[in-house]
Amino acid sequence: MAESIKDLRIVIVGAGMGGLASALALAKEGFKKIDVYEYAADLGFVGAGIQLAPNMARILDRLGVWEPIAREATNIKDTSIRQGSTNEELGHVELEYIAKTYGYPHMVGHRFSLANSMYQGCLKESAIKFHFNTSIKSIESFGPNPVVVAEPRDGSSEPYNVEADVLLAADGIKSNIRVEMLKLLNVDAQIIDTQQAAYRIMIHRDQIKDDPELLALLDSDTVVRWIGAKRHIIAYAVDNKNIYNLSTTQPDTNFAAAPSATYTTRGSKSAMLGVFGDFCPMIQRMLNHVPEGEVCEWKLRVHAPLPTWVHKTVALVGDACHPTLPHLAQGAAQAIEDAAAIAASLSRLPDTNPATINKALRVYEKIRKDRAYALVEMAAASGRTLHLGDGAAKEERDKQFAALKQGNGKVPDKWADADVQKSIYGFDATKETLENFDEIFRGLEEDQVVNGVNGH
């Protein structure tokens, strides 16, 4: 057993959004032994835009890594929701109030900027060691001291065991550790095929320098969403307005028959143009700038809600336990909230007993689980509304957009609705955890299996 709380050996699987934020947040709490194992040779695929909501910014600022991200990001002033086929504006929402209300503006930026700033923050912490190019092949024990098997991908050594006092599985939607945990707990929760896929596209300023209409979009501080039946495109400027970032959603056809392990594929440009073939000419021009051979399509899968995120002294983090459709732009933000809640919970540990660690991890789960799943559901619901085809439901939705133009009512695009924003951006995961830790911790029964080595 670790001599002191801050000497606990913390192992994190995955250096994605949740893993990096967890490592940094725990180091800032004074934990001294944090090892991060990452399959990829470096920070991995980070070439796309990402929305940086105030609930994420607040945490990153506390961790000392927000300023470099904000410096390169675009401060969003408003959003415009438009009919894809005509470019006609259906709804327009001012977003400048967000900074005053929640302490941080709504920004959009480059994923690399987000990941790299967290990574640079981690590098300044002597407590954190990265093991890139190393795959966690399996989990041998969930506790009282979890053990995983690490395998260097370059063959530089044989697979070896890594023992921890706390194991955080931030290994993304394909999480092996989730699979093992569910098997052990006899839980039949599956990956759900949303039947949606996404193109992620980046258009550089020099590609559109002769197109004033597209340049105006790139130079604006507006998030634009063009919607149509079963499809939409959301777009904004990143990288100091040098790149116009587009993220689309459309029915999945390419992955339908692919194995469930397939998440990205190189798409065909003509297929992509076909998907948005009835969108307005300006969008056609925009999509035409994507170089042939650089069309990348992502499968959008989610997961059935899990009854628990914690087993013994192992906890799931981020997409491993709450993957979401991107329509609220909260996936990474929610992984970062997890990190904040875990660090706050473990900082309040009264001792290093595995049963106590298990309870602290369950406090994290209590703070985060219902909220994360509510947002997953809301993102799915928003997608259904945005993707309506002709019919009564769409007419009703468009009446709401019309009322919005008169300054009344809710925004059918939930991401832009002030009440939704209040529930998402007003939440401070660190504060919630610290304020509620004692009461939740006291109310939890001790887990009877945590100290046993049986049952994995």
SS3 content of the chain, % helix, strand, coil (to 5): 40, 25, 35
Q: Which is nearer to ligand FAD, 301 or 359 (CB)?
A: 301
Q: Which of 91, 228, 326, 412 binds ligand FAD (CB under 6 A)?
A: 326
Q: Which is nearer to ligand FAD, 14 or 354 (CB)?
A: 14
Q: In what order do the strands lie in the sheet with 74-75?
A: 49-52, 107-110, 74-75
- Of residues 131-150, which lie at the interface with ligand FAD (CB under 6 A)? 135-136
Mind giving me the DSSP string for 290-355? Answer: SPTT--EEEEEEEEPPPS-SEETTEEE-GGGT----GGGS-HHHHHHHHHHHHHHHHHT-S---HH
In angstroms, how far apart are the furthest CA atoms of the chain? 68
Angstrom distances, CA of residue 317 to CA of 29, 158, 310, 322 = 18, 28, 10, 8
Q: Which stretch binds ligand FAD (CB under 6 A): 116-124, 139-147, 323-331, 407-415?
A: 323-331
Residue 326 amino acid letter:
P
Structure tokens belonging to residue 31: 């934990």
Q: Which is nearer to ligand FAD, 18 or 228 (CB)?
A: 18
- For the CB of residue 200, give the shortest distance to ligand FAD in the complex, in Å: 6
Structure tokens belonging to residue 428: 């401070």
- ∠ CA 307-341-11 to the nearest 5 degrees? 85
| Three-class DSSP category at 31 | coil
Q: Which of 35, 38, 252, 417 binds ligand FAD (CB under 6 A)?
A: 38
- Of residues 162-181, which lie at the interface with ligand FAD (CB under 6 A)? 170-172, 176
**Residue of minimal CB distance from ligand FAD?**
16
Rule CB under 6 A: is residue 247 a binding residue for ligand FAD? yes
Rule CB under 6 A: is residue 347 a binding residue for ligand FAD? no
Q: Which stretch binds ligand FAD (CB under 6 A): 332-340, 350-358, 387-395, 410-418?
A: 332-340
| Per-residue x/- track, 180-209, ligand FAD (CB under 6 A) | ------------------x-x---------
# residues contacting ligand FAD (CB under 6 A): 34
Q: Which is nearer to ligand FAD, 146 or 354 (CB)?
A: 146
Contact 267, 276 (CB under 8 A): no
CA–CA distance, 238 with 375 (Å, rounded to integer): 25
CA–CA distance, 330 with 429 (Å, rounded to integer): 14
Q: In what helix (H) or strand (E) does residue 23 lie, and over which residues does it extend?
A: helix 17-28
- For the CB of residue 147, give the shortest distance to ligand FAD in the complex, in Å: 14
Rule CB under 6 A: is residue 16 a binding residue for ligand FAD? yes
Q: Which is nearer to ligand FAD, 332 or 450 (CB)?
A: 332
- For the CB of residue 37, give the shortest distance to ligand FAD in the complex, in Å: 5
DSSP 251: E
Contact 405, 91 (CB under 8 A): yes
- Of residues 51-110, which lie at the interface with ligand FAD (CB under 6 A)? 51
CA dihedral of residues 376, 175, 50, 289 (deg, nearest 10): -110
Q: Which of 5, 333, 344, 440 binds ligand FAD (CB under 6 A)?
A: 333
Q: Which is nearer to ligand FAD, 43 or 381 (CB)?
A: 43
CA–CA distance, 30 with 125 (Å, rounded to integer): 10
Residue 148 amino acid letter:
V
Rule CB under 6 A: is residue 13 a binding residue for ligand FAD? yes
Q: Which is nearer to ligand FAD, 176 or 347 (CB)?
A: 176
Which residues partner with 373 through β-bridges? none
Rule CB under 6 A: is residue 39 a binding residue for ligand FAD? yes
List of residues contacting ligand FAD (CB under 6 A): 13-19, 37-40, 44, 50-51, 135-136, 170-172, 176, 198, 200, 247, 298, 318-320, 326, 329-333, 335
